[in-house]
A = this chain, B = another copy of it.
């Protein structure tokens, strides 16, 4: 069966269903506006392990197990896993998922990873490569600050434009078995580099990629913004959102009524001192699995465009004075009437 494909998009002729979603978060996320929606809270930032990295791996393993359990499946029924994280050489996924003993493809999309994992997972299910596929990612404030910024003990000041890395892991089981939530299409992102170099303002670095992917999606599917109940970016934050909305206006699109950003949803900026908003692979992943999917399942939303956004940089590229390119991987998720 040949799928209908646009310039950068795929419309699945075989439906791909989201069978289950699981979300694990840390205490700060639990204290935020979405606190009541998460499946489980890790009170210990090391999740009972000996390092933040081991803690993040443990979070990812527990999110995976919970999603598989919610789908009423055994681990051995998962045909393949698509997973990645923010850490160098994706150690959160490698060490977290080894125990599942399932076939796996490791991904790197920075904070766009959940969009990439859902896209590749949906492509695999729609093509008949597996009955059930697991898509997941994670991030952790402790591991990310250590990886990209300053030692936590250093207590550096954070500019208001900086984001706060979400401690959390979100996992989805995808399958061809009918549920009330389906992935009907994807739009694959391009890497965009506008030359911005401020890794404390990643929203600005990622906004152009989000704009490009949204325009391409509307173009490929011949839709208007109103055709989506919500267009939901991953972690642009409030500054990135302003830039995105303005860039889209210049292209003739007004999405301010439909736009939500997972980074702005997950924290109460004023009360939690989280700068521009939440960030990290886990941000979009846990907001999707805890807050967005139930609204699609209930039919409150009929169709959303979910596009996690990634800032492609490392401490080496930053120290060598390189810019911070962005990418956004979009997934069209719809309510399916039972």
Name A residues whose Cβ lies closer than 8 Å to a Cβ of B. Answer: 1-3, 5, 8, 10, 50-51, 53-54, 79-80, 84, 86-91, 94-95, 97-98, 101-110, 116, 119-120, 123-124, 126-130, 146-147, 188-193, 312-317, 320, 322, 325, 327, 329
List chain B residues, Cβ under 8 A from A316: 53, 87-88, 91, 146-147
CB distance B10 to A94 under 8 Å? Answer: no
**Cross-chain contact of A3 among B10, B97, B110, B128 (Cβ < 8 A):** B128
List chain B residues, Cβ under 8 A from A87: 314, 316
State in angstroms the CA–CA spacing of A316 and B5 once bound together: 41
Closest B residue to A119 by beta carbon equals B105
State in angstroms the CA–CA spacing of A164 and B122 once bound together: 38
Closest B residue to A313 by beta carbon equals B89
CB distance B313 to A103 under 8 Å? Answer: no
CB distance A129 to B314 under 8 Å? Answer: no
State in angstroms the CA–CA spacing of A322 and B110 once bound together: 23
CB distance B127 to A3 under 8 Å? Answer: yes
CB distance B5 to A129 under 8 Å? Answer: yes
CB distance B101 to A120 under 8 Å? Answer: no
Known: A89-B314, A104-B188, A106-B116. 6 other contacts (CB 8 A): A51-B320, A80-B188, A95-B325, A98-B191, A106-B327, A126-B127
Residue from A5, A94, A119 with most neighbouring chain B CB atoms (10 Å) = A94
List chain B residues, Cβ under 8 A from A88: 88-89, 147, 314-316
Residue from A84, A86, A90, A320 with most neighbouring chain B CB atoms (10 Å) = A90
List chain B residues, Cβ under 8 A from A107: 105-108
State in angstroms the CA–CA spacing of A10 and B108 once bound together: 23
CB distance B190 to A79 under 8 Å? Answer: no
